[in-house]
Amino acid sequence: AGGLASGILASAVGFILVVENPQVDPMFGLNITILALVGIVIGGISSLRGAALGGFIVGFILSILNTFLGNARVYAYSYLFLAVVIILLVRPGGILSKRNEMERV
């Protein structure tokens, strides 16, 4: 049942992406994939809640940066990745990593 639900969700997201950008090329969906991976790393790879929190943080940071940067929006991803580096320096396992997992890292 879980596999069916995730397959349905993945196909719905794929449909939305194709409707938004009907031309498919080798770089199709790369930005979304990178942002998803960044969110997972920020939140903590071992935790589903951490991954969800990381995705929320990525979206929040990007929307704040796009709002306040104005014409300098092209630097939003640079500032996002700088925030990722700072977060990972403070919490190497991600925001919701457990104490024993941080010791392993």
Q: What is the pLDDT of residues 66-104, one digit of tens each?
A: 888 888 888 888 998 998 999 889 988 888 877 555 555
Domains identified in the chain, total number: 1
Residue type, 62: L
**Residue 4 is assigned to a structural domain of this protein:** no
**Residue 12 is assigned to a structural domain of this protein:** no
Q: Tens digit of pLDDT for each residue in 4-20?
A: 888 999 999 888 888 88
63: containing domain: 26-104
Q: Which residues contact 84 (CB under 8 A, 6 or more apart)?
A: 38, 41, 42
Q: Residue 73 has what DSSP assignment?
A: G
Q: Which residues contact 94 (CB under 8 A, 6 or more apart)?
A: 41, 42, 43, 44, 45, 46, 47, 50, 54, 88
**Residue 6 is assigned to a structural domain of this protein:** no
When the pLDDT of each residue in the chain is averaged and rounded to a whole number, the result is 85
**Residue 5 is assigned to a structural domain of this protein:** no
**Residue 33 is assigned to a structural domain of this protein:** yes
Between CA 84 and CA 82 the distance in angstroms is: 5
Q: Residue 75 has what DSSP assignment?
A: G
**Residue 54 is assigned to a structural domain of this protein:** yes
